[in-house]
Structure 1
């Protein structure tokens, strides 16, 4: 039987508090950019507490928000009731999306490809459910450029970070995985967030869009 629920109750409680603070210091602006210009039917993978939901534009006719963690999913359900577009929140995982082939105009990943067990499988599912010409949107923290921070990422990913952070890995080559999954990146911004004097392992981010190549 396919895995559908992922329970990380301690991480979920910490994350739910932390993400509010991160949005207050600039994260919300990145979320608005992530979904700006979308239209039609959208599937959001790993919706978390639903922090993207208030930012979907009116041209979106509906969002299917997939979230496997029960505590986070309950928060997303509450956020969905106040969203400016119709939202349905469901249990599900990235490598077995509850959608038909070509059913969606856009698929959104937001701080989730760091923690999925298999990036290739998750991105293959995204490609499957996208209609021809549909968009993949992503906001993810990624592998640092070669240097000290990348070495720190390797150390923390091999030790405490995934255990503490619900399976998250700071040093994944997510952009490479997107391209290898058969997507052409059409828009890309690289940045560090949050901006601290000493960069955190999860600070390098990408925000972008891609289409099926």
Structure 2
């Protein structure tokens, strides 16, 4: 059993937010995130299963790890409506319920902002990936230093935002931690999502791939 992760309000709001984000272009990002993957995949922080329908047929099975009970139930229901390749389990990113060197790819999508220990989570991802395995990521990240946007992120992260947003921190330098983890960055795209006229605190995003 994982460490307890319990965000009852966020867990009930997030599926609605995710649907709105998908209507604003998130579906295309999800498809790109998993395009071309093969073999065994572990998805960390699967939420309610928004990525499930986009896995290509070249993926033989998916272990979807989700620690929040309500979101995990929704993910289980979604997986049951699909083709049987996806198994949803309880677990946290810092201690994945999987053997070392056992997956061809790992997927993280809007989750590294909320893990309790990002370097430990990335170390676990390296552990469960086989040599040459891929990490695919789509994450919101810190705005450029010394900008009003970065100042707003720091203000939110030091006050109520993590409590109301399921542990999310808007200003984490996720890209720097991926580089420090020992994973080899091979693809990187910086983008603003959603592409609203006025940027929101979580709008700076990265999408890409890193190899073991």
CA distance in 2, matches of 1:78, 1:184: 35
**Equivalent residues, number:** 211
| Cα distance per residue 1:35-58 (max 9 Å; x no partner) | 000000000000000000000000
CA distance in 2, matches of 1:83, 1:118: 32
| Structure 1 residue aligned with 2:112 | 113
- Normalising by structure 2, report the TM-score: 0.97
| Structure 1 residue aligned with 2:167 | 167
- Normalising by structure 1, report the TM-score: 0.96
Computed over aligned residues only, the root mean square deviation of the Cα atoms, in angstroms, reads 1.1
CA distance in 2, matches of 1:211, 1:8: 32
CA distance in 2, matches of 1:21, 1:153: 22
CA distance in 1, matches of 2:67, 2:52: 17
Displacement after TM superposition at 1:197 (Å): 1.9
Displacement after TM superposition at 1:4 (Å): 3.0
| Structure 1 residue aligned with 2:152 | 152
CA distance in 2, matches of 1:24, 1:198: 18
CA distance in 1, matches of 2:150, 2:184: 25
CA distance in 2, matches of 1:81, 1:175: 34
| Structure 2 residue aligned with 1:97 | 96
Contact 2:31 2:55 in 1 (8 A): yes
